[in-house]
Amino acid sequence: MLYAIISEDVDNSLEKRKGVRSAHLERIQGLVDEGRVIVAGPHPSIDTEDPGEAGFTGSLIVAEFNNLKDAQDWADADPYVAAGVYARVTVKPFKKVLP
pLDDT, residue 42, reads 98
Amino acid at 21: R
pTM above 0.75, yes or no: yes
Distance CA 30, CA 86 (A): 21
pLDDT, residue 69, reads 98
Would you give the DSSP letter of residue 67?
Answer: S
- Which regions of the chain are under pLDDT 50? none
